[in-house]
Structure 1
Amino acid sequence: MDTSLNKKIVYLAVPSIVSNITVPLLGLCDVVVMGHVGGARHIGAIAVGSMIFNVMYWLFGFLRMGTSGLTAQAFGARQLQVAATMLRRGLLVALAVGLLIVVLQWPLRRLMFFLMQLTPEVSPLCASYYNICIWGAPAMLGLYVLMGWLIGMQNTRVPMLLAIGQNVVNISMSLFLVIGFDMEIRGVALGTMVAQWSTFLVGIALILRFYGRMLRRHPSPWRELCQGLARFFSLNLDIFLRTVCLVAVNLYFTSAGARQGAEILAANTLLLQFFMFFSYVMDGFAFAGEALAGRYQGARNQAMLQRTIRYIFGWGVVVATLFTLAYYLGGTTVLSLLTTDAAVVLTATGFLWWAVAVPFAGVAAFVWDGIFIGILQTRGMLLSCLVAALCFFLIYWLLSPVMQNHALWLAFIAYLLARGAVCTLYQMKSSPFTA
């Protein structure tokens, strides 16, 4: 066993896991603040506003993933000029898209509010939140590029520090503005926006601190920045379309549960937290896979690439086993911690065994996502999500009249399995150095 490779995987994975765990805290702290100083309308407005921005930013997740894979390969090939250009090109695209979102904020707001079907009580509050948070779009998309670039450079500690810092600033600023200046939901929104911009600027400062000499030594002329845009967008179009598939499945899962009544919706929401807990940890190992697979792909080191894939899968099996045991033995206890509503807990318990099946159903999908981003097999990622999404909708539509909510969970498990299976078949038929 290659202990040095295991150490590299853990070194990269653990800070990413910590970073991932802090992500839901950004929305949670806003809800907690409003829950103590506002009413149900305020909490609802924060929940809807956070969902709008989560979906919007999720669609642009290719800025992180595309930057990570290309940078990791440049790092592995010791092409520091290319790595420096990737950072500048990614930031150029992120800031341009972010500014476009700011410019188009009014039609985007009308579209989002129409899709969400907001009530008159929540709509004005949600509008106040949206109108402030939208100005953080360039910073958030810029942060995606910084995070992806640092992961590609085999550095996950700085992203961890940035994620923790963003939470600290967000919580402190929101409390200061809401309690100190009685700004209510506007204070929460402003605190979130300040946290985004301050974290982005600190990220730029840290990159200049640790990589400034390399960046100065390898300038990127305007012509060079523009030359690689075609490939950048070609790779990222696959990731974007793949994300659309993921968003479609997740949104439909929620809406299908909602159509079965409030109790089923609440139970499904709780059980999805089991999937989220697992994903926070597995994504850390997927990020390690991105960095190392891309590095060895760039170095043309097939032996280390194949060994990395095996070791990441090994860690994935360990994580899946631990989560499966934890959910099997303590699932009901976790549900009781998530809510005090006995009826919802009882309903969720009837579907708990589907959540127990999630870790092993999803482990291959998470691992292959990281590997494919690193070796730039974005077409394989897109294909797997298209096939998996079709499986999800087909199974649910065929079986829902008979199995109701069980059909929804069966479709979700099949969706996770299909993603991993298609990726496995795709990789078996592809050369490890085919980008």
Structure 2
Amino acid sequence: MNKDILKLAIPNILTNLTVPLLGMVDMHLMGYQDSSVFMGAVALGGVIFNFVYWGFAFLRMSLSGMAAQAFGRDSKKEMAMMLFRGLFLAMSAGLLLLLLQKGVVSLSLNILEGSQEVKALAADYFYVRIWAAPLAISLMVINGWFLGMQNAIYPMIISITINAVNILSSFFFVKILGMKVEGVALGSVIANIVGFALSIALFLKKYRYILSEFSFKDILDKTGLLSFLNVSSDIFLRTLCIIVVFTFFTSKSAGTGDLILAANSALLQFLFLFSYFLDGFAYAAEALVGKFTGSRNIKEVKRTVKYLFAWGAFFALVFIGIYGIGGKYILMLFTNQPDVMNTAQTYLPWLIILPITGFSSFIWDGIYIGATASRLMRNTMLLATVIFFLLFYSMKESIGNHALWLAMNCFMLGRGLFQSVFYKKLGIFKQ
């Protein structure tokens, strides 16, 4: 079992680690400008794209679990329909976002807190990066489908390529051409074009046979589309809760001042680094639990869960050590501004304990997605979100910015605890 888990987890870890690396590079490029407003602008612009991209991440999550179950049943028609329906929805959503881009950025910046200078720069960032939306959302679907096919290598190749191109492009535009927020945004657009072209080439190399199952009529089949959307809608609401929490977190940081926004934005990279690492095991859970659920093998589902939690706990302890010993030096990767560094170090202890409070939530997410237990997943996330807001508003007056980090840790812990309680209610145990 460890071999099966690591075969899927290691490529996904390598895939995921390139994502926070990209965020770190963007923070570095902006953090070494002559003002903290550039860091804040990329952070605020990134929040808007959390709405845009995380909002459609439900397509990847619902599709990977359902495709894995189709793989377990060895149904080629189901496998094909999962991919084609997902791509149809992704492209439609991406084109709609392009048409509504001015309304999206206007509404977002009216809701979000922050200085006018930061908001103006965030809008510049958005209007460049939004042109990658149809391809970026489609890539989520394609990578989710590859994972459902028990193929973690292709998503790794695609993601590493995208982020390598993005980093090199951003450095070129910012360091060589002297661009600022528009430079890092343009790097994202170019990277997504390259990544989408690569994903098509890889698909044709190994899965060309799936094209014979293509039928536009079947893609729009009411029963199949509603079944897909039923699972997706619950996962969308679950994902929306995460978007709300992280958007609120960044917005309240911005409302406190540009300095707190810059410090919290740098510290969030610690959370993202850990989350993307643990998501490697969550993705392994999606593929394996999905496959065993599809073949109705309860014994292997339980065995998979046991081994996944052992790996999750181990790496939580590893990250506590890394952040505890090297947190100060990791912060230096993001900025050389003494006031931002000093402020961030005040709140660093919250990030040191976060791996232990948060690891179980990532593992459970993968298990629930693989079992397509979307409703239970949604309900546990709603409960954790309520805890986040109750804690923040009850503590903000007494401990200030510490209340955001306390609420964030309890949000992560609550997700894991509630999912542990509902575990036995997963559909696989009722078969």
TM-score with structure 1 setting the length: 0.88
**Residue 18 in structure 1 maps to residue 47 in structure 2:** no
Q: Give, in whole Å, the separation in 2 of the partners of 1:258 and 1:118.
A: 5
1:289 to 266, 276, 285: 285
Which residue in the other structure is 1:276 paired with? 272
**Residue 396 in structure 1 maps to residue 396 in structure 2:** no
Deviation string for 1:129-153 (max 9, x for gaps)? 4334322211111101001001111
**Residue 110 in structure 1 maps to residue 106 in structure 2:** yes
- Given that 2:47 and 2:250 are in contact with CA atoms closer than 8 Å, whether structure 1 keeps it comes out as no
Which residue in the other structure is 1:409 paired with? 405
Deviation string for 1:240-285 (max 9, x for gaps)? 1111211222222334445555555454444433322211210110
**Residue 92 in structure 1 maps to residue 88 in structure 2:** yes
Count of aligned residue pairs for this structure pair: 430
Which residue in the other structure is 1:157 paired with? 153
**Residue 226 in structure 1 maps to residue 221 in structure 2:** yes
Deviation string for 1:329-383 (max 9, x for gaps)? 4434444555445555555444443322211111111111010011101111111
Deviation string for 1:280-303 (max 9, x for gaps)? 210110011111110110111111
Deviation string for 1:189-211 (max 9, x for gaps)? 44432321221122012111111
Structure number with higher relative contact order (C-alpha < 8 Å, ≥ 6 residues apart): 2
Distance 1:243 1:434, change over 3 A: farther
Which residue in the other structure is 1:67 paired with? 63
Which residue in the other structure is 2:319 paired with? 323
Distance 1:147 1:187, change over 3 A: same
Secondary structure at the aligned position of 1:154 is classed as coil
Deviation string for 1:41-77 (max 9, x for gaps)? 7666545434322331111111110110110111111
- Given that 1:300 and 1:433 are in contact with CA atoms closer than 8 Å, whether structure 2 keeps it comes out as no
Secondary structure at the aligned position of 1:155 is classed as coil
Distance 1:256 1:71, change over 3 A: same
Unaligned runs of 5+ in 1: none
Q: Give, in whole Å, the separation in 2 of the partners of 1:190 and 1:233.
A: 32
Deviation string for 1:5-62 (max 9, x for gaps)? 1111111111111111112344555566677899877666545434322331111111
- Given that 2:289 and 2:371 are in contact with CA atoms closer than 8 Å, whether structure 1 keeps it comes out as yes
Secondary structure at the aligned position of 2:221 is classed as helix
Q: Give, in whole Å, the separation in 1 of the partners of 2:239 and 2:99.
A: 24
One-letter identity of the residue aligned with 2:215: S
* Deviation, structure 1 residue 115: 2.9
Q: Give, in whole Å, the separation in 2 of the partners of 1:44 and 1:101.
A: 24
**Residue 382 in structure 1 maps to residue 388 in structure 2:** no
Which residue in the other structure is 2:201 paired with? 205
One-letter identity of the residue aligned with 1:286: A
Secondary structure at the aligned position of 1:367 is classed as helix
Distance 1:388 1:32, change over 3 A: closer
For the aligned residue pairs, the C-alpha RMSD in angstroms reads 3.0
Q: Give, in whole Å, the separation in 2 of the partners of 1:179 and 1:411.
A: 38
Identity within the alignment, %: 42
Q: Give, in whole Å, the separation in 2 of the partners of 1:392 and 1:187.
A: 35
Distance 1:337 1:137, change over 3 A: closer
Distance 1:89 1:403, change over 3 A: same
Q: Give, in whole Å, the separation in 1 of the partners of 2:168 and 2:233.
A: 37
Deviation string for 1:133-178 (max 9, x for gaps)? 3222111111010010011111111111111211233344456667
One-letter identity of the residue aligned with 2:378: L
TM-score with structure 2 setting the length: 0.88
Which residue in the other structure is 2:2 paired with? 6
Distance 1:194 1:412, change over 3 A: closer
2:231 to 215, 228, 235: 235
Distance 1:272 1:167, change over 3 A: closer
Q: Give, in whole Å, the separation in 2 of the partners of 1:94 and 1:133.
A: 17
* Deviation, structure 1 residue 101: 1.1
Which residue in the other structure is 2:350 paired with? 354
One-letter identity of the residue aligned with 1:104: L
Q: How does 1:31-46 map to 2 (within 5 A)?
A: 45-46=41-42
Distance 1:314 1:390, change over 3 A: same
Secondary structure at the aligned position of 2:234 is classed as helix
Distance 1:409 1:182, change over 3 A: closer
Unaligned runs of 5+ in 2: none
Which residue in the other structure is 2:138 paired with? 142
Which residue in the other structure is 1:426 paired with? 422
Secondary structure at the aligned position of 2:390 is classed as helix
